[in-house]
Structure 1
Amino acid sequence: MPFRRSDLADLSYFLAIARHRNFRKAATELGVSASALSHSLRGLEERLKVRLVNRTNRSVTLTAAGEDLHGAIRDPFAAIHEAEDMLNLHRDAPAGRVRINVPDEAAMRLLVPVLPEFVARYPDVELDVCVDNALVDVIDAGFDAGIRFGGTVPEDMIAQRLSADFRWVVAGAPDYFERHGEPLHPTDLMHHQCIRLRLGTGRMYNWEFERGEEALALAVPGAITVDNGSTASALALRGLGVMYTSEGAVAAMVEQGRLRVVLSDWASPGPGYFIYYSSRRQVPRGLQLLVDLIRELRPLGL
């Protein structure tokens, strides 16, 4: 069956399903409902008279025909999207949609402070911000870019610095230290309640410390493990344990007396936030404008 012009939208939906192998995630990327996505695919399969996707309650896979179709149309559709974005260079005001994957602290501390100005300057650019601490393949997941700490950016990506480097510290509520005492050396933490951190890769993070020529990395004990900084802060504020965090993330709470930093002479330096994107794709105009604005306003220094 020959393709019809009306099939173009359904084919773009099919590509999103092929990228994510998940209807809900594909629907989120496209800004439609999962049921609309399913209806679109079903209509496309009926018109082409071939099954493209195998669906069960647990998995979504491409059939042999689906794999062939995906391989044939993926690059042409990518070229169409790049051509669409190139038109921004000829518009008085940039437009389009930009999808970014960011961890929770970067969203709150890096993006939120600049978004009011971004929206005021570029009202026709739509930003889709996915807050996710898991380390995902941003290209395969359909994102234009991701933001991560410098040491975790994939090597095959182009990266631009968005913040100054950080200092990593241990902090807890004053009443926690009144009950348990303050650690005087990093190894004292082995006798404290620590709010442990699971990285986006799934592995547990060892708390790192430096003082002069000395360096330590400790697998600290603790009854609670979290995978994002905002949850760790909320638990630390309730006196449930000490947390390991960037100094800036708790600066306001420390100034208010709600948290206290300990072992400050053992604070460990670490790379700041970087935005990264594919070297094989044209950078969307809206994305470059966002990067430029962050570097102009410097919410976390630079």
Structure 2
Amino acid sequence: MKNVSLADLKAFLCVAQHRSFQRAATELGLSRSSLSHAMRSLEARLGVRLLHRTTRSVSLTTEGTQLQQRLLPLLHDLDEVLDTTRLGAHQLRGSLRINSNEGGARWLLRHVVPQFLHDNPHVQLDLLTEGRLVDIIAQGFDAGVRLAEAVPRDMIAVPFGGTIRFIAIASSDYLRCEGEPSVPADLLAHRCICQRLPGGSRYRWEFMANGKSLNVDVPGNLCLDNSALMVEAAVMGLGIAFVPEPFARGAIDAGQVEIILERWTRPIDGLCLYYSGHRQVPATLKAFIAVIQEAKRRIEPTYASPSP
């Protein structure tokens, strides 16, 4: 690593994360031209091209992607070692980055985050939400949160929040005007509030019939990609929605919507925090997991579907 500075490597990771010289330069407090010059110098010293540059975008070469994936855990661990030494082994310092779906973030924010931040006031927690399943290692996250069925098989999973159901809901006004479906196939004659998946396809609603899975490609001229908005649309009488029960529980308890086709639904394994088992687990993540486990012991014996 002759003549390659730690600052240059961190600058490269910042450019790789943002896919933009301007945004990375702003974060680093540098001029765009200085950062661009530093990256060209880094490429020259390493003897490989790390970045594809156009007038509008920046992307990683194969070598750049490989360097990013190997540097992220190394520099994360280095920061942790230095912060622990600086502050003392009994106090954690540094950052913890978690990528989550919205439901998982709500549960963590309610039951875990307040205690974690109280116990670790020097830790910077980034809890970021998005619908798509990302490569947490490549994107620089310490952990992810998704439904158990979506967790990559090579990851270590920590379940929390209990089981969960996806339920069909509709307002009383809608059911009074359109009638109530008695079997999933009846949905084909109804207005449904569809869910657009991150990849662009529409989600096929999943039910259980005689112990077998039944998928229905429901009709509807309204598509949303957010469960809370789907519940709101159902409350407004715009159609039937199919959402995780925690998001609908408040509206159900308030009498704004009713559960339909309930006997066709079944609980599935709920949320998991997951992380790579192929690298050292950061102390900040260990502490976060410990708070999750304590929250599970405290609430899961009586845990039912929470209001969102």
Q: TM-score, normalised by structure 1?
A: 0.83
The one-letter amino acid of 1:240's match is L
The one-letter amino acid of 2:120's match is Y
2:287 aligned counterpart, secondary structure: helix
Say which of 13, 17, 22 aligns to 2:19: 22
Unaligned segments of structure 1, at least 5 residues? none
Is 1:85 the equivalent of 2:83? no
Number of the residue aligned with 2:104: 106
Number of the residue aligned with 2:35: 41
Which fold has the larger relative contact order, with Cα–Cα distance below 8 Å and residues 6 or more apart in sequence? 1
The one-letter amino acid of 1:172's match is A
Say which of 142, 145, 148 aligns to 1:144: 142
Is the 2:197–2:225 Cα contact (8 Å) retained in structure 1?
A: yes
1:188 aligned counterpart, secondary structure: helix
Is the 2:181–2:187 Cα contact (8 Å) retained in structure 1?
A: yes
The alpha-carbon deviation at position 17 of structure 1 amounts to 2.7
Partners in 2 of 1:195 and 1:125 — Cα distance?
A: 40
Number of the residue aligned with 1:133: 131
Number of the residue aligned with 2:3: 3
Number of the residue aligned with 1:164: 162
Number of the residue aligned with 2:185: 187
Partners in 2 of 1:86 and 1:290 — Cα distance?
A: 18
Aligned length: 293
Q: TM-score, normalised by structure 2?
A: 0.82
Is the 1:169–1:262 Cα contact (8 Å) retained in structure 2?
A: yes
RMSD between superposed Cα atoms in Å: 3.2
The alpha-carbon deviation at position 234 of structure 1 amounts to 2.1
Partners in 1 of 2:43 and 2:277 — Cα distance?
A: 38
Are the structure 2 counterparts of residues 297 and 73 from structure 1 closer, same or farther at C-alpha, using a change threshold of 3 Å? closer
The alpha-carbon deviation at position 144 of structure 1 amounts to 0.9
The one-letter amino acid of 1:151's match is E
Percent identical among aligned pairs is: 34
Are the structure 2 counterparts of residues 45 and 151 from structure 1 closer, same or farther at C-alpha, using a change threshold of 3 Å? closer
Deviates more, 1:69-78 or 1:207-216: 69-78
* Residues 174-231 of structure 1, C-alpha deviations (whole Å, 9 max, x = no match): 2222222221111111111111123344432211112443542101111112222122
Partners in 1 of 2:22 and 2:220 — Cα distance?
A: 33
Are the structure 2 counterparts of residues 180 and 58 from structure 1 closer, same or farther at C-alpha, using a change threshold of 3 Å? farther
* Residues 86-110 of structure 1, C-alpha deviations (whole Å, 9 max, x = no match): 5649622211101111111221233
Partners in 2 of 1:109 and 1:72 — Cα distance?
A: 34
Partners in 2 of 1:24 and 1:202 — Cα distance?
A: 29
1:269 aligned counterpart, secondary structure: coil
Deviates more, 1:55-64 or 1:205-214: 55-64
Number of the residue aligned with 1:286: 284
2:165 aligned counterpart, secondary structure: strand
The alpha-carbon deviation at position 71 of structure 1 amounts to 5.3
Are the structure 2 counterparts of residues 209 and 123 from structure 1 closer, same or farther at C-alpha, using a change threshold of 3 Å? same
Number of the residue aligned with 2:175: 177
